[in-house]
Amino acid sequence: MTNRHAPRRIVLIGLPGSGKTSVARLLARRLGNSWSHGDTDDQVMKLDGRSIPDIFSESGEDAFRRLEQQAVAEYDRREHIVISTGGGAVLDPVNRRRLWQNGLVIFLKARPETLAERVNSPNSQAEARPLLAGDDPLTRLQELARRRAPTYDLADWTIQTDALFPDQVAEEAFHVHQRLGEQLLGRSNRDRAWRTDDQSTPDGPAAWVNASTGSYPVYTASGELDRLAERMREAGLKGRATVVADVRVAALYGEQVLGSLREGGFDPELITIPSGEENKHLGTISDVYDRLLERKSERGDPVVALGGGVATDMAGFAAATYLRGVPLVHVPTSLLGMVDAAIGGKVGVDHARGKNLIGAFYQPCLVLADVDVLRSLPSRDLTAGWAEVIKHALIMDAALLQNLEQHTKEILKLDGAAVTPVLRRSARLKANVVSADERESGARMTLNYGHTIGHGIEAATSFSAVLHGEAVAIGMQGAAEIAVRIGILSADVAERQRRVLQQFGLPLRWPGVNADAVIEAMSLDKKVSAKKQRWVLLSDVGRTVTRDDVPAELVREVVAGLVAP
């Protein structure tokens, strides 16, 4: 007897070889005569009339993905159905909205080694898997697993299938559906919206970070500064708030923030810190500790970090370490802070020998970004911030990249209708990655694209001459050149990257820096492991690889070209 309150749709997601099609058939049969099963790949072939390999070879992957979106739409309103999806179907946000809507989503997970063994078995239809074509499917599966992990991890339930037969997987899915399905599907609308990338509530959070050490919303919209106290109360915060802001931002927005907090009953006080990366060191943090102690701030009293990436990092580090941790709220006022620095819990300070070498992972309780404050940013600071948005697009979202390319003028004018969706999308991409990999042990490494050379340039210029975004742009240019030179990236994609960076006014070189100093700083980077530099490189838009075998001679040559007079 089935549970009549359980979800009426089940969606199976996972990599090639995870058994989605077989499990869907078995699960539909187990659920009873009223249930059927559907397969998005089968539906694609019905729509087009060709096999999937033929579609890929004759029309390309983009054509296949458009057909796949039509196939998912065919199942949009079907009930009492188990849907097995193509491995990449859920990467498309439109598909996710349709598949997650009123459906129980189950991720069939297995190690890449297990999947490779399955797809190489005599019974496998390996020829029907174009993305695994070649002599080394294991490497490709490892890459796909890493790249798709943030999306797969949004599933309502995960079944580890390595040691299970398809009928055992189907049986476990059946019991999840019957016993927990109603509960899983009944999560708050807030959580469902985050999981499905839903933008239908512009006044709600742009994203949610669901990390192992805490869950918190990211608000990105106009007028959010005046809602700060309200958002903090909604997050369950109370006590006396201490606002930590750099002197420039304090002059612009300090009184507005303090006023909101006073009205909300948070009895606020302002601590100002010097502006600039060159002041991001333990000496400044010591001054913040002194002020917190003078105020007798207690463990429940929140710290509000108001400012750009430097203030976010320093105030966050102070909150993480004062009294072994007090509640933290990020109110980023720079573009870099809104889409990157404030999201993810990385806080810290620089050392004379390298950037962010002293720090911690410490998640905030709330991130609040007011798009209106971008109009007060110095032109150079605003331009530098676009580097992180472009980076997110290059490594994760071809649609966002296309938006940036096609609507550059409107975005640069900070037209609200153009810029707010871009910032919300970029924040959501960062939040999804952080949720899947809080401590940068896997998927989050991709966010370091452009940072290897970029951090080296920052350190070689004593963190004063080059803005972080400018350095990242130059670093991405160097990484693209390396990827082209070692044969993993086409020159066309590298040129596309160059064009969009230039469209947004970002530098591609920084002449006059000592190349040896850049190389030395890179050797102290956090991404060095077993004395090997780990490089995040593009293989295509939306696809990255991590390599530790880039020849040192090539690196030196590329760096020298980027900083030559």
335-365: string of b/e by CB count within 10 Å (b at 16+)? bbbbbbbbbbbbbbbbbeebbbeebebbbbb
Report the candidate in 21, 153, 11 with the shortest Cα–Cα distance to residue 95. Answer: 11
> Is 95 one of the catalytic residues?
no
Catalytic residue (one of 455, 458, 481, 527):
455
Q: Round to whole Å and give the CA distance between 551 and 555.
A: 6
Burial class (CB in 10 A: 0-12, 13-18, 19+), 238: middle
Catalytic residue (one of 172, 388, 438, 481):
388
> Is 279 one of the catalytic residues?
no
Catalytic residue (one of 97, 392, 451, 527):
451
Catalytic residue (one of 68, 172, 224, 440):
440
> Is 102 one of the catalytic residues?
no
The DSSP call for residue 318 is H
What is the side-by-side strand order in the sheet with 81-84? 36-39, 81-84, 9-13, 104-109, 157-160
Tally the C-alpha atoms within 13 A of residue 512's C-alpha that lie toward its C-beta: 3
Asked if 13 and 145 count as a contact pair (C-beta separation under 8 A), the reply is: no
Catalytic residue (one of 9, 146, 355, 444):
444
> Is 353 one of the catalytic residues?
no
**Helix or strand run (H / E) with residue 251:** helix 247-263
Catalytic residue (one of 346, 355, 391, 527):
346
> Is 430 one of the catalytic residues?
yes
Q: Round to whole Å and give the CA distance between 374 and 262.
A: 24
Catalytic residue (one of 448, 470, 527, 543):
448
Q: Round to whole Å and give the CA distance between 14 and 66.
A: 19
Catalytic residue (one of 248, 430, 527, 543):
430
Catalytic residue (one of 324, 375, 531, 553):
324
> Is 468 one of the catalytic residues?
yes
The DSSP call for residue 440 is S
User: How many Cβ atoms sit within 10 Å of the Cβ of residue 417?
Assistant: 8
Sign of CA dihedral 376, 379, 381, 383: positive
Asked if 457 and 563 count as a contact pair (C-beta separation under 8 A), the reply is: yes
> Is 346 one of the catalytic residues?
yes
Q: Round to whole Å and give the CA distance between 421 and 564.
A: 38
Catalytic residue (one of 391, 468, 527, 543):
468
> Is 177 one of the catalytic residues?
no
Catalytic annotation, residues: 324, 346, 388, 430, 440, 444, 448, 451, 455, 468
